[in-house]
């Protein structure tokens, strides 16, 4: 009997990934179905639905789900969910698809049928509806009016670009997942299904588990956040994104090496587990922080570490907006439908020369001139430009891995930083 937090939604892990004879039969059937090509983002969502990471979702959202999630954080049946999970198709692909039809979802990059789907609804999202979604899901306190938001969002917000460039038709319905793509082999030992991470935590005797979300290499601030969580929880799940990022971000295999070096040299290893998950970043800031908590609940985590500018990009969000949003979300009363994974809110952390150690705005009384401001974005910017890092910015073992990666790059990408992170 597990003592871990139950999966989100009140239905246990809703696993849609087929195995054995059922998988082989569905693969054979899929070859004869109409194929719809999927984007990398949809592929990640599909795999998460398959392995139970997006429990209680068992397929792609209807228009009522889409509208309810954007407007009220609730699916049509009243379950908390913070971002739309939809399947887009071109008009040509959708022209001869009717409700009740079965289709095959095809990944053109991997040249593989990833899933089959029974279409229960077909609907179109107009340009105005897409703009409305962007304003609801991606607009934060950094751009408090729609006018300010749209002045920069189309060019500078990768999540908004994805939504606005989606194909016009959406297909809803339950799916049967046939593959986890490249993740089980490319990230063997790191990539976990929720059932696997739950077993690891159960075997360790953990009940209260904190998750650390990573998309940047692990620097001293991340290390400090983890160690705070280790002090107050049974253990920490360092759970990094191994799906697609934006240009200029550091690839997953390099980040995994950095985490390995940190855990080996600076943690009591039995208190930390490293894992990876297959999503693309949406850069939805506060809403994505909520999504991270919802699916970490499925992985067995009762707390989600939320620090400064969680899942943010540029200056679109307030520095701690991803913390305050947890206090504003609806709490459905029906069993299991409310978010149970709670935020572990931690203030801005940094190295302070006068404190002679890591500190936060809650513990350090000194001036900003005494502090080394720590940010994954600043780290990437300095290394990409060949600059020297300030003392205490990162562990030597991690910096060595990153320098080697940057020395091998031929194409450079401009990296934009948050004004506050630069001390402005």
Query: Quick check: 81 and 75 in contact, CB under 8 A?
Result: yes
- Reading phi first (left if > 0) and then psi (alpha if -120 to 50, else beta), residue 379 is in alpha
CA distance 9 to 172: 19
- 3-class secondary structure, 275: strand
The bridge status of strand 34-37 relative to strand 112-118 is: unpaired
Q: Which of 216, 220, 282, 298 is catalytic?
A: 216
* Whether 287 is catalytic: no
Query: Quick check: 129 and 163 in contact, CB under 8 A?
Result: no
Q: Which of 193, 215, 287, 380 is catalytic?
A: 215
Q: For residue 299, which of 187, 190, 200, 189 has the smallest C-alpha distance?
A: 200
Give the Cβ contact number of residue 104 at 10 Å: 20
Measured between alpha carbons, how far is residue 168 from residues 33, 277, 385 in Å? 21, 28, 40
* Whether 215 is catalytic: yes
Element (H, E) at 344: strand 342-345
DSSP string of 161-174, one letter each residue: HHHHTS-SEEEEEE
- For the CA atoms of 241, 244, 249, 253, the dihedral, rounded to the nearest 10 degrees, stands at 60
Query: Quick check: 214 and 241 in contact, CB under 8 A?
Result: yes
DSSP string of 361-401, one letter each residue: TTT--S-GGGEEE--HHHHHHHHHTTPPPPTTSS-HHHHHH
Residue 296 gets which letter from DSSP? H
Number of helices followed by number of strands (H, E) in the chain: 15, 15
Instruction: Give the active site residues.
Output: 215-216
């Amino acid at each position: 009997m597990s003592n871990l937090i139950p999966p989100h939604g009140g239905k246990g892990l809703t696993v849609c990934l087929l195995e054995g004879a059922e998988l082989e039969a569905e693969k054979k059937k899929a070859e004869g179905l109409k194929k719809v090509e999927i984007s990398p983002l949809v592929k990640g969502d599909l795999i998460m639905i398959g392995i139970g990471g997006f429990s209680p979702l068992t397929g792609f959202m209807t228009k009522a789900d889409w509208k309810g999630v954007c407007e009220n954080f609730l699916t049509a049946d009243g379950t908390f969910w913070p971002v739309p999970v939809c399947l887009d198709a071109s008009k040509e692909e959708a022209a001869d698809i009717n409700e009740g039809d079965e289709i095959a979802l095809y990944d053109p990059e991997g040249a593989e049928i990833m899933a089959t789907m029974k279409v229960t609804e077909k609907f179109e999202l107009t340009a105005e509806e897409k703009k409305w979604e962007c304003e609801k899901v991606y607009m934060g306190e950094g751009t408090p009016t729609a006018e300010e938001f749209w002045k920069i969002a189309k060019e500078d917000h990768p999540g908004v670009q994805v939504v606005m460039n989606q194909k016009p038709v959406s297909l809803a319905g339950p799916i049967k997942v046939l593959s986890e793509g490249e993740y089980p082999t490319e990230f063997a030992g790191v990539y976990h299904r929720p059932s696997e991470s739950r077993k690891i935590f159960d075997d360790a005797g953990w009940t209260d588990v904190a998750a650390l979300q990573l998309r940047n290499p692990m620097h001293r601030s991340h290390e400090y956040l983890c160690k705070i969580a280790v002090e107050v929880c049974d253990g920490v799940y360092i759970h990094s994104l191994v799906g697609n990022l934006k240009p200029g971000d550091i690839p997953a295999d390099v980040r995994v090496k950095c985490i390995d070096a940190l855990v080996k040299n600076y943690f009591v290893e039995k208190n930390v587990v490293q894992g990876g998950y297959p999503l693309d970043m949406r850069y939805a800031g506060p809403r994505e922080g909520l999504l991270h908590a919802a699916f970490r609940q499925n992985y067995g985590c009762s707390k989600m570490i939320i620090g400064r500018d969680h899942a943010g990009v540029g200056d679109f969000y307030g520095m701690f907006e991803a913390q305050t949003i947890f206090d504003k979300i609806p709490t459905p009363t029906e069993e299991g439908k409310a978010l149970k994974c709670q935020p572990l809110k931690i203030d801005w952390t940094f190295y302070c020369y006068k404190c002679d150690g890591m500190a936060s705005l809650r513990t350090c009384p000194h001036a900003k001139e005494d502090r080394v401001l720590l940010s994954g974005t600043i780290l990437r910017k300095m290394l990409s430009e060949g600059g020297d890092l300030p003392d205490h910015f990162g562990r030597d073992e991690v910096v060595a891995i990153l320098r080697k990666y940057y020395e091998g790059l031929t194409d450079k990408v401009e990296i934009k930083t948050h004004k506050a992170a630069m001390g402005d």
